[in-house]
Chain A
Amino acid sequence: MKKIFLAISILALSTVSCQKIIDIEQEDADKRTVIEAILLEGTNNFDVRITESSNFFGDNTPVPITNATVVLNDGTSDYTLASFADGNYQLVGFNAISGTEYTLTVNENGNSFVAKGTMPAIVTIDTIAYQFIEQSTFSDSGYITQIEFNDPGAKDNYYRIEVDVQGTYYGDISSLILLDDGFLNGNRIEFPLFAIDVAQAYDNVTMKLSSCDKSTFTYLEGLDALINSGNGAPPANPSSNFSNGALGNFSLYASDTKSIVIIP
C-alpha cells in the first residue's frame, strides 16, 4: 500500500523532481561471515556455502572462505563436509529424516558458529486448481492458480512456495511466497497465487511446497522485508539461527512437488 501511495506522489511530483547518482561515504564495515546452509529432507547432497560480507556499493563479489571446518551432527554422529576452493562445502548423499534435530557447527579462524534445526515433516500438495479470469485492473486474462493442501493440526506449520509456469520461475529470495497456518491450523488450505502472473492454456505448472521450521521462516520473512520494504520501517538484518553473529541461516526444508497442465 505504502508503495502505491509513494508511487502516486512521485508521479504527481515527477514534473519537477530530479534524480542523480550520488556518492555515499561508506565506513569500512566489519566483515561478517555469511553461512548459507540448506538441508533437504530425504537423501540429497547437503551443500553449505561460506563467504565473507563485502561492499554494498561498487565491487561486491562474494569472497569465499575456504579454510573452515563444517560438521553436521544428527544427535548420534558427526559428519564432516568436504571443502571446495569456491567456498562450497558438501556432504554427498546424506539422508535427513523428519523429526530429527540437526546441529551444524562451522569453525573458521578460531570462531565457532553453531545452528540447530529440526527437520519438519513433508506436507503433500493435494491439488493445483486453476480458474479463468477476465482482464481487470489487477491482472491480464488467464488462469489464476491455487495450491491446495491439508494442514496438519498438531503444530504450527510454516511454508515456502515456489512455482514454475512454463519455464518462468516464481518464489526466489527476491520474491518469496511465504505462508503460515496461524489462522488456519488443521484446516484445508486453498491459497490462490495472486502474487504471480496468470498462466495460459496448456502451460505446464509445477509447484513446490516446502515445509520449514520456525527459525527458517522468520529468517525468510526478514529477508523479504529487507529486499522488498522500499521506504519502510528502519531496515534491519534478518534473524539468523547461527550463534556468534554470522549472517545467513541453517535452513531445513521438507518439500513436495506437483505438476499439472492447464486444460481449458
Chain B
Amino acid sequence: MNKLLILLLFIVPIGISAQQFTISGTLKDASNGEDLIGATVKVKEIPTTGAVTNVYGFFSLTLDKGNYTLIFTSLGYEPIEKKISLNDNQRFNIELKEQSTKLKEFEVTGEIEDANVSSTEMSIEKLDPKSIEAIPVLLGEKDIVKTFTLMPGIKSGGEGNGGFFVRGGGVDQNLILLDEAVVYNASHLLGFFSVFNSDAIKDVSLYKGGMPAEYGGRGSSVMDITMKDGNNKKFGASGGLGVISSRLTLEGPIVKDKGSFVISGRRSYADLFLKLSNDEDLRDSKLYFYDLNLKANYKINEKNRVYLSGYFGRDVLGVGETFGFNWGNATGTLRWNHLFSDKLFSNTSLIVSNYDYEFKIGSGEESFGFKASILDYNIKQDFSYFMNDKNTIKFGVNMIYHTFDPGELFSSISGFNPINLNDRLATENAVYLQNEQKVSELFSIQYGLRYSFFNYLGNNDSIFDYNEAGNATSSQFYNRHETAKFYGGFEPRLAAKYMLNEVSSIKASYNRNYQYIHLLSNATTSSPTDSWVPSSNNVKPQIIDQIALGYFRNFKKNAYEFSVEGYYKNLQNQIDYKDGADLFLNGEVERELTYGSGIAYGAEFYLKKKKGKFTGWLSYTYSRSLRKFETINNGEYYPARQDLIHDISAVGIYKFNEKWTASASWVYTTGLAVTYPAGGYQIEGVNVPYYSGRNQSRFPDYHRMDLGVTWYNKKTDKFESNWNFSIYNVYGRENTFSIAFIEDENNPGQTVAEQTALFKIIPSVTYNFKF
C-alpha cells in the first residue's frame, strides 16, 4: 500500500502555483432537503473546471485565489449563481429548487446535460425512480431492475427468471448494493418483481464495465442503489394502491434541517384473492411478499453526520398447513460521514447483510424442512481527497466476514435423522486507490488499483481436495478461523475520455475484477434455493477482464444522445456442474463441479431523445457469451444460457399535457440457449432421451409490447395524485417459461414438446398519491 501511495504521488502532477483555497459544501433539494447526487458546481470564469457532488451531496473544489462566479446546478433544478471573492476557504450549503414543469419540458439548462459525452465514465446506466414513472410495467409495479433491462447490454431471462445478465455475465456476477449493503437475491415472486421498492429509492447507477476501484467482489457489473434520506423540512406521506400490492412511505424531520427519517413499506396481496377461491387448497394458500425500507440520518455538526439504514424483505409461499416456503434479505448499514478538512471527506460504514430461505413440509409431529443462509459482516472505510480542480483521489479499505450455512435438514419425525452441514467461513478484503484526473480540457482519465484478497477459513473440520473425477485425494483438519486457502490479486481499473469536439467524445476502459464467491443453482433457471459458496482449495476465484471502447455524440443541444460501445471480456475460472450433478443437501458439492473459461463480446447501440413532448430510446445489442469446459461439449465453446444474440428495446413516452402521459415499450430478444435431447432410445422398454451437446438449442425468441397511460390529477401544494393504467404483453405473445417433454396424447409412446408461458395479456391499474 505504501508503494502504491508513493507511485501515485509520482503520477499525480503537483502544480506549485499561486495560493489556493477550497470551496466545499453540500447541495440539497430545497423542498425536502434530500442530498443531490451528481449535482455540479461550475466556475463561469473557468468553464472546464468544476466539482460534482458525491453520494452524500458533498463537493469540494480548490482554486487559485481570485474572484469567481459559481453556478450550482443539477438536472431538473433551477441553477443558482453566486459571485465570490476567494481569499479564504469557504463553505456553501446550497438548496436548489425544482424547475417548474413548464421549464422542465422546453428549457435547456446546465452543462450537466451533456454528461453522456463529457464524463470520464462509460458503460454506465443511471436511473432515478421519478424518471421511470411513466414506463409501463407488469401489474403496475414500477421497477428499477426491470427498467434497466430495457437498456443496452442488460438483459432479463424472461418471465419467471430472477436476476439479470450484464454483457454476457451470469446472474451471480452482479454486485447489487443497497446503501452499500450487498443484496444477495434481488427477486421477489420468482423474478417477476425486484426487491427494490422504488418509492424508497433516490438514485441508481449500474456499471456494465470500467467500474471505479472502490467497487469489487463481482465479475460483471455493479448496481449501486441509494435510498432516500427522508424529508428534513416537513412530514409527508406518499403511496400507491395497485392490483398486486400497495405501498406507503412516511418521511419527516427528526430535527428540522438537521436530521430526517423515512419508512417505506410495500406488501403484495395476491393471497387475499386466493381466499375467494372455491378450491380449498388455493383458499388456504399463502402467496405474498413484503419490503420494508428504513432510514434515518442526523447532522451532528458541519463536520459529522450519521446515517442508519435498513432493508427487510420476504417472500412467503404456502399451501395450508402442509407446505411452507419463504425467503428474504435483511440488510443494515450504519454510516458516519466525517470531514477531516475541506478537502478530505471520509465515510465509515458498518454493514450487515443476510439472505436465507427455509421450507417446511407437514406440521406438528410430522414435519420436516430445510433451511440455508449466508451472513456477512462488513467494515468499510472510504476517503475522498479533493486535491485540486484537476485531481480527485479516492482510497479506502474494506473487510467482509462471510458465514455460509450450506443447509440444515430439520425434522420432528422420529427415525428421520436431521442433517446439519457445517458452516463455511471466509474473509474477503480489499484496499484501493484511484485518481480522477483532468489532464487537459479535452482529455481526462480515471485510473485506480484495487488489491483484493480472500481467506477461506477452517471451522474445526476437515477440508478435502478433489480430483477431476470428483474423488477426494487428501484431507486436512483446520481449526476454526485457521486459513485453509489464500487468494489475492491486483485489479487494475482504467477509464479515459477524449473530447473530439463540443458534442462528441470517444472513451475507453479496462477493468479486471476478482470474484471470490459463487452462486450454484439447483436448476437451469435461478431460484431462491440457489446457494452461494466461497472460493476454496478446490474452487478458484473467477477473474474477469473487460476492455470497452465507445463513441458518444449528442445532437440538437443535447436533446438527443447517441452512443455505440463495443466490449470484449475474458472470463477465467468459471464454474459449472459435471454432467448429472446432484446438489441438494450435498456436503461435498465441490466434487460435482468442473472448471472452465469463457469469452463474451458485443456491440451496443443506443439512441435516446431526452427532451420535448416525446421522449424515449431505442437500443440494439449484438452480443455473444460463450463458455469452454473440458468436460462439457467435448471441450468446444458452447453458448452460455444467457447468450442472447440479438436484443432490441424501444421505449416511447408522449406527454400530451399536464394531465395525460402515454407510453409504450417493445422488447425483442433471442431465446435462451438450452439443452434439448438430440435423439432417443429405449432401456428396458422405457424411452430415454439422448443428449449430444450443452446449450445447442434455443427457446423461441422472446418479444412483447406493453402500453401505459398516466392521468395526473390537478396538483395542489398539499396533495398530488395520479392514476396509471397499463397493459402488459398487449398482443398476447406466449413467451416460453419452460418446455417439458410429454407423451403425445394422439400418438401414445411418442414424445412432444409442451411449452408453458406465464402471462398473456395482463391489464392493471395503480393509484399513486403524495401529500
Contacts and interface: CB of A to CB of B under 8 A. Distances in A.
Contacts of A30: 678, 692
Interface string B575-587: 0110111111000
B516 interface: no
A18 to B, nearest CB: 5
A62 B684 CA distance: 12
B739 A22 contact: yes
A247 B683 CA distance: 10
Contact of A20 (B751, B754, B759): B754
Given A2-B584, A19-B756, A24-B676, A60 B750 contact: yes
Given A51-B681, A137-B366, A234-B577, A226 B689 contact: yes
B261 to A, nearest CB: 35
B753 A137 contact: no
A153 to B, nearest CB: 21
Most buried by A among B270, B524, B580, B692: B580
A235 B581 contact: no
A63 to B, nearest CB: 10
B700 A138 contact: no
A233 B577 contact: yes
A188 interface: no
A19 B758 CA distance: 9
Interface string B662-701: 0000000000000111111111111111111011110010
A233 B686 contact: no
Nearest to A10: B756
A223 B678 contact: no
Given A235-B689, A236-B580, A17 B681 contact: no
Given A9-B317, A20-B755, A2 B689 contact: no
A16 B760 contact: yes
Contact of B325 (A8, A32, A174): A8
A233 B750 contact: no
A184 interface: no
A56 B751 contact: yes
Contacts of A25: 697
Interface in A1-54: 1-2, 4-5, 8-13, 16-27, 29-32, 34, 36, 51, 53-54
A18 B760 CA distance: 8
Contact of A29 (B317, B362, B690): B690
Which interface residue of B525, B683, B692 has the most chain A CB atoms within 10 A?
B683
Given A27-B678, A57-B750, A36 B683 contact: yes
Contacts of A22: 700, 739, 753-755
B172 to A, nearest CB: 16
B98 interface: no
A55 B680 contact: yes
A46 to B, nearest CB: 16
A231 B525 CA distance: 8
B762 interface: yes
B584 A21 contact: no
B680 A56 contact: yes
B594 to A, nearest CB: 11
Contacts of A173: 683-686, 688
B560 interface: no
Given A2-B529, A57-B753, A227-B686, A236 B691 contact: yes
Given A54-B679, A56-B677, A60-B749, A226 B688 contact: yes
Interface string A104-136: 000000000000000000000000000000001
A226 B580 contact: yes
For A8, A16, A172, A223, the residue with the greatest tally of chain B CB atoms inside 10 Å of its CB is: A8
Contacts of A232: 522-524
A17 B756 CA distance: 7
Nearest to B321: A137
A34 to B, nearest CB: 4
A154 to B, nearest CB: 20
A223 B762 contact: no
A21 B736 CA distance: 11
Given A12-B287, A137-B322, A234-B577, A51 B366 contact: no
A150 to B, nearest CB: 20
A228 to B, nearest CB: 11
Given A36-B683, A231-B524, A237 B691 contact: yes
Contact of B756 (A18, A51, A221): A18
B370 A1 contact: yes
A58 interface: yes
B5 interface: no
Contacts of B741: 56
Given A19-B756, A54-B681, A233-B583, A8 B738 contact: no
B190 A9 contact: yes
Nearest to B287: A12
B29 to A, nearest CB: 41
A11 B282 CA distance: 8
A152 interface: no
B86 to A, nearest CB: 63
A139 B688 CA distance: 29
Nearest to B749: A60
A12 B160 CA distance: 12
B681 A53 contact: yes
A32 B689 CA distance: 12
B348 interface: no
Contact of A247 (B523, B579, B677, B681): B681
A5 B527 contact: yes
A29 B692 contact: yes
Interface string A55-88: 1111110100000000000000000000000000
B758 A13 contact: yes
Nearest to B520: A233
A55 B751 CA distance: 9
A178 interface: no
Contacts of A222: 580
B177 interface: no
A262 interface: no
Given A5-B325, A36-B684, A234-B524, A17 B758 contact: yes
Nearest to A218: B580
Contacts of A231: 523-525, 738
A29 to B, nearest CB: 3
Contacts of B677: 56, 235
B757 interface: yes
A25 B739 CA distance: 13
A100 B322 CA distance: 51
B401 interface: no
Contact of A21 (B580, B675, B683, B754): B754
20 contacts: A1-B359, A1-B370, A2-B522, A12-B285, A20-B754, A21-B754, A23-B753, A26-B678, A36-B683, A36-B684, A53-B690, A56-B741, A59-B750, A62-B682, A137-B322, A233-B522, A233-B523, A233-B582, A234-B576, A236-B579
Given A20-B734, A32-B681, A57-B753, 11 more contacts: A4-B359, A5-B325, A8-B323, A8-B325, A12-B317, A27-B678, A56-B678, A137-B322, A231-B525, A233-B580, A234-B695
